[in-house]
Each structure stands twice: as structure tokens, then as C-alpha cells.
Amino acid sequence: MPNRIGSRAVVIGAGMAGLAAAKAVAPFFEQVTVLDRDWLPDEPAPRVGTPQARHAHVLLAGGAKALEALFPGLRGDLVKAGAVVARAGRDIIAEHPGYDPFPVRDLGFDTIFLSRPLLEYVCRRRLADEPNVQVQPRARVVAIVAAEGGAVAGVRCEDNNGLVQPLDADLVVDASGRAAPTLSFMEAAGWTKPEETEIGVDLAAATMIFETPENAPKWKGVFHMNEPPKEFRRGSILPMEDRKWIVSIGGRHGDDPPSELEGFFAFAKTFRTSTIHDAIRRAKPLTEVARYNLPAIVRRHFERVPRTPRGLVPIGDSICRFNPAFGQGMSIAAQEAVVLGKLLESKRSRAEPLVGLAEQYFAEIQEYLATPWATAVTDFVHPETRGERPPDLEQRLRYGAALVRLAAQDAEVHKLLAEVNALLKPHGALREPMLASRVTALMETA
């Protein structure tokens, strides 16, 4: 392809953020090398490097749209592989405090449900079709290497035998999840590291997979949401491939779910409704209980750093790690990858296309981070949540509660709220003047 931006791009990490990033940058470099320290299975299977993969995952509509832009025809591939397509508002019931269930309505778009290992597997297969992309497992990035002037020159990686070798690169995309390669590089090279905002959520989850019973309810899945601040416990039953249910239960701030079968059922029985417990007590367990703990969610404010190293772009959890209970991480990473690809396309013909790339990228992805971060801030409704509370927290919580009440009454508001939560529309749509006036009026009557 003419006007290639550089010889090589290196992507650190072969999770969903890394796979999406590799596909996004592939048209602009002669070679793209994806490095992952983990073994990558030849089938849909969990792996050591992604312990969260044993838990429930959702491909939100906004994320599915982004991945479809990167991998045309992906939805068909996923459905063929066994993914379950569910109509938002109709097929997955939502048990919300005061609404058990929330009004059931066809909201006009779909959500895709499948296991994280299956999604990674299908995307890895699609990426293998790219002739200039190489995925290299069991390759641990030891360090990002600086060029003269502080720009990125490549990485040093260690293979399975402990041999460390340099790998030149014009662009390094850090999809490692914790941003350790990026932060270490910036510190060593004298760059200003980004400020971090941390919210201590102390989340604990337990997950099992069940065979969907023959006499299963008509719904395809259920979300059971807790009533904060007096309740910590929540749970879900979600469909996945091979006619299975993936069932997750969770608590926070020390109210942790048990790690054995009897305790799992007992925990589910304490929910405000019996929906989840009644469903799984008739289902056949297929796995043992898998546990997952997340002490805190973190946002790294790269957008506030005046200058960043040329040729270095973090993505996904390396920028912002969200509460996995809301299923936003994979979808946000896909949207960020689309932004990166579009920026590279716009700069392709420039003499120095990588100059200013990271700064523009950080600025443009902020609108995509707004919705999940606004959701994250609501965790402060629990007094036990650690971190700096926004000064307008009480107003935000009251506005959110009134918005939910209005959505229960008005199908159009319900659809809009669902579209924002599905990352199809920006968070600002919930503050449009006409809607805001209706929500405010409802707040005054509460």
C-alpha cells in the first residue's frame, strides 16, 4: 500500500485491546508484530494472562460496531462460532431496585454475548488473514527503547528461553493492561508521567458455567442490580456459546461471594429476588467456582500531559481500567482502536505522521471514556469506596436516580439511556436541555 507510515509497529499484548489495535494499524506499516508473554491457545480456551476471561463478558453494541468496522463481517463470524445475539430491553431482563423487573421493551439494537476466550479466538483468526501481521506468543517485553530525542525506537523482548532481543519499531502500542512498559519508559527517559485517579471499589466476583436447562425461562439472561448503599450484592445470568449460561455473583467491600458450590447457591439466594437462584438450582454445573478480585479502578490522565513520546500509544486498560461488572472494557478498547486507525489515515501523507499522534489520540478518546467513567463515579454512593469524591456527587446521584425513574415511564428515554450505556451515543445526550428539564422536574418531586 502506498504512503506507509513506517516499517514496523509493535503491539504489546494480544488481548482484545491488542488485537483491535493491531488490525487498526496494519494498513499503515510494512509489518505489525504483536507480542504477548502468554501462551495463546489454538482453540477458545482461558489462558493464564487473562484471569478475568473466566468471568462473564458482554460485547456492547458500541463495541460490536467498532469491531465490525475493524473486522468487516465479524458479527457473522461470531454468530457462526456460537455467540448469542440478544435484543436490548427484551431478551435480557433487568432487575433494578424498585423495578423487579424493569419494563420490558424492544429498544431497537442488539447485544452480543459469548465467552471472552471465544471472542479472542475469532479475532486472532481474523488477524491471521493479514499478511503483514505476526502474533508472537511467549514474548515478554522487557522494556521500550528510546531513540535520540526521547522518541520510541522499539522494544526489547524476552523469548521463552530467556533470550532478550531488540525489535525496532516506529510505533509501539501498549495494550499490556497495566501500562507498566509505558510508565517505566516515560520515567526512565525523563518524561512527565500522567496523573492517576483511583477509585477503591474492592470488588469480588465468583463465576460458574451451567448447562442451560431444557425448561429454562423465556428470557435469555438476567441482570440483578443491588440497591446501594445498603446492598453490595449483585449477579447475572448471561447466555454464551454451546447452550450454556455463565453465572456471576459479586459483592464489594468485604462482602465477598464464596468459592464453593453450596456457598455459591446460598449467596444467590440472598438476592432481593429469587430469579437467579431459582434458575440455577435447576441447571447442571459444568465448572467449579472461579474467583476474581479487583481492589480499585484506575484512570491515567494522558490527556493532561503536555507532551508524550513520539511513537508511543497506550490503549484499553493501559489508559483506564473500569469496573468489569458493567462490561465496558473490551468495547471501549475497540472504539479507541478505531480512533487510532482514523488518525493514522488522516496523517498518512504527512512528512512526519507520528508527530502529535498521541496527543490527538488522547484528546479524541475522552468522549468515549465519559460514559464508563461516569458509571464508575457512582461507586461513591457506598461510603466504603475509597478515593476523592466529586463535589457534585449528591447532585449526580439524584439526577441518575430520577433519570432511571423517567426511563421506566417513557420508552424513548429508556431507549436513549440504553443507547448511552451501550456506548452507541455520547454521555452528553443524557444532559440535553429538554431531557434535563424533565429529569430536574422529577428530582423536585422526589
What CATH number corresponds to the domain at position 110? 3.30.9
Q: Give residue 2's pLDDT.
A: 58
Q: What cell numbers appear for 94 in the block?
A: 433487568
84 and 231 fall within a common domain? yes
Q: Please state the pTM of the whole predicted model.
A: 0.96
242 and 347 fall within a common domain? no
Q: Give residue 55's pLDDT.
A: 87
Q: Are strands 171-174 and 58-59 parallel, antiparallel or unpaired?
A: unpaired
pLDDT tens sequence across 371-408:
999 998 889 999 999 999 999 999 999 999 999 999 99
99 and 220 fall within a common domain? yes
Q: What's the whole-number mean pLDDT along residues 289-318?
A: 95
Final residue in a domain of this structure, among 264, 295, 326: 295
321 and 426 fall within a common domain? no
pLDDT for 85 beyond 70:
yes
Percent of the chain surpassing pLDDT 90:
89
167 and 259 fall within a common domain? no
Helix (H) or strand (E) holding 364: helix 357-364
Q: Which domain holds residue 161?
A: 6-47+120-196+301-368
Measured distance CA(77)–CA(98) in Å, rounded: 39
Q: Give residue 15's pLDDT.
A: 95
Q: Give residue 409's pLDDT.
A: 97
Q: What cell numbers appear for 275 in the block?
A: 430469579
pLDDT for 1 beyond 70:
no
Indicate the pLDDT class of residue 148, thresholds 50, 70 and 90: confident
pLDDT for 270 beyond 90:
yes
Final residue in a domain of this structure, among 333, 368, 403: 368
Q: What cell numbers appear for 211 in the block?
A: 448447562
CB atoms within 10 A of CB 157: 22
Final residue in a domain of this structure, among 252, 277, 295: 295
- Give me the count of residues in the chain: 446
202 and 289 fall within a common domain? yes
191 and 201 fall within a common domain? no
Is 1 part of a structural domain of the chain? no
432 and 414 fall within a common domain? yes
206 and 257 fall within a common domain? yes
Measured distance CA(188)–CA(312) in Å, rounded: 14
pLDDT tens sequence across 201-250:
999 999 999 999 999 999 999 999 999 998 999 999 999 999 999 999 99
Q: What's the whole-number mean pLDDT along residues 66-81?
A: 98
Is 62 part of a structural domain of the chain? no
- For residue 148, give Cα distances in angstroms to 151, 310, 314, 412: 7, 11, 21, 56
Measured distance CA(263)–CA(29) in Å, rounded: 52
Q: Give residue 10's pLDDT.
A: 98
pLDDT tens sequence across 118-138:
999 999 999 999 999 999 999
Domain with residue 335: its CATH number is 3.50.50.60
- Angle (CA) 45-220-52 rounded to 5° is 30
Is 70 part of a structural domain of the chain? no
217 and 283 fall within a common domain? yes
In 241-289, the DSSP E strands lie at 244-252, 284-285
Is 54 part of a structural domain of the chain? no
Q: Which residues contact 198 (CB under 8 A, 6 or more apart)?
A: 296, 297, 298, 299, 386, 387
For CA atoms 275, 377, 306, 157, give the dihedral sign.
negative
Is 414 part of a structural domain of the chain? yes
Measured distance CA(376)–CA(389) in Å, rounded: 11
pLDDT for 301 beyond 90:
yes
Q: What's the whole-number mean pLDDT along residues 412-435?
A: 97
Instruction: Estimate to the nearest angstrom the gap between the alpha carbon of 283 and the chain centroid.
Output: 29
Q: What's the whole-number mean pLDDT along residues 12-20?
A: 97
143 and 261 fall within a common domain? no
Is 100 part of a structural domain of the chain? yes
Q: What cell numbers appear for 177 in the block?
A: 493492561
93 and 18 fall within a common domain? no
Nearest CA-CA partner of 86 in 62, 120, 58? 58
427 versus 160: which is more confidently predicted?
Answer: 427
Counted domains in the chain: 3
Is 407 part of a structural domain of the chain? yes
